[in-house]
Structure 1
């Protein structure tokens, strides 16, 4: 997830995130210092699709379609064995990442008007951002500290819709991944209006 050029998130933006509670003890300290999304209320996560549809385009049918689509995926386990880098970004690399890619691809195929990262990148690489916008020496220091504490393992069993008010991101709806059990255990997402989040 990223801010706009003014350094702020835009009110009405939404994001689909696979939150990673198991990584919080490992990355929380660094994210609070070096990842602005943490200060804006976003937990440790791997982005599934950002930006998703603006809030004025999300209705009950979209929520229902998301629930059905995500429920069709099986939960899976990933390991964070190493750090990776983008320009000015340090992240934990989930392995294997093919099922995270499949989640992104399936949602982006359903809503082609919401390509990952606005279509900025030819390839979307799943990652858990730890720090960004820092000089290389800072990223080097954070990476050295993290490397001593890896690997970490996490189970990805849901995707969450987060909504921005321009300052803070708030959790709106969680969509469980049910896989083979979809026919008997499909749970309905919250019927709460997205505009009341």
Structure 2
């Protein structure tokens, strides 16, 4: 992860898992550990990369989408692994997260989720990556006392991710 020039992420923070994900982030690259208390290392990405320098009009569009979206509940409890080895938590239900991502993508079609790299974007919270000694089972054992997490999704954060400069730029409450 080193050498980043920075990128923005529209995300939903998950406070209950932030300490764990923050520790894993520090393990891989401490330059991505934020000193901003509003920054959620544990998050579900809605849209990334987003705009590096959004205009007031861009921010107003996100604000409008947020105010048109009712807050909702989901549960993070199912650990899965993508084909590339990324260990993650799935949200259930995930439909409200998909709807929110679709609304943001429709408003900013030049910013497809994950740069358009993946066809069917699955709302998820990244936990780790399969490696020696790291498996879905070891991650599940580490999180046994924490999962499942019942999450009230009530805001969108605009995060900036950059070496030694991770912070929240804006935040919008959902309706």
1:89 and 2:83 aligned: no
Aligned pair partner of 1:19 in 13, 29, 42: 13
More helix by share: 1
**CA deviation after TM superposition for structure 1 residue 128, in Å:** 0.7
Aligned-residue CA RMSD (Å): 2.3
Secondary structure in 2 matching 1:112: coil
2:119 — aligned with what?
A: 122
Change (3 A) 1:19 1:54: same
Change (3 A) 1:60 1:149: closer
CA distance in 1, matches of 2:123, 2:42: 13
Number of residues of Structure 1 aligned to a counterpart in Structure 2: 168
1:10 — aligned with what?
A: 5
1:157 — aligned with what?
A: 154
Q: Which whole-Å deviations, capped at 9, do the CAs of 1:147-181 have from their partners, x for residues lacking one? A: 45421211110000112445422101001101xxx
Secondary structure in 2 matching 1:137: coil
Q: Does the 8 Å contact 1:161/1:172 carry over to 2?
A: yes
**CA deviation after TM superposition for structure 1 residue 33, in Å:** 3.0
Q: Does the 8 Å contact 2:76/2:150 carry over to 1?
A: yes
CA distance in 1, matches of 2:105, 2:30: 22
Q: Does the 8 Å contact 1:31/1:130 carry over to 2?
A: no
Secondary structure in 2 matching 1:82: strand
For 1:1-197, what aligned pairs fall within 5 Å after superposition?
A: 3=1, 7-11=2-6, 13-24=7-18, 27-33=21-27, 36=29, 39-41=32-34, 42-55=40-53, 58-86=54-82, 87-132=84-129, 134-135=130-131, 137-139=133-135, 140-147=137-144, 149-178=146-175
Q: Which whole-Å deviations, capped at 9, do the CAs of 1:55-77 have from their partners, x for residues lacking one? A: 1xx11111111101121101111
CA distance in 1, matches of 2:19, 2:163: 27
CA distance in 2, matches of 1:38, 1:176: 29
CA distance in 1, matches of 2:4, 2:67: 29
Change (3 A) 1:37 1:65: farther
Give ranges in structure 2 of 5+ residues lacking alignment.
Answer: 35-39
Q: TM-score, normalised by structure 1?
A: 0.75
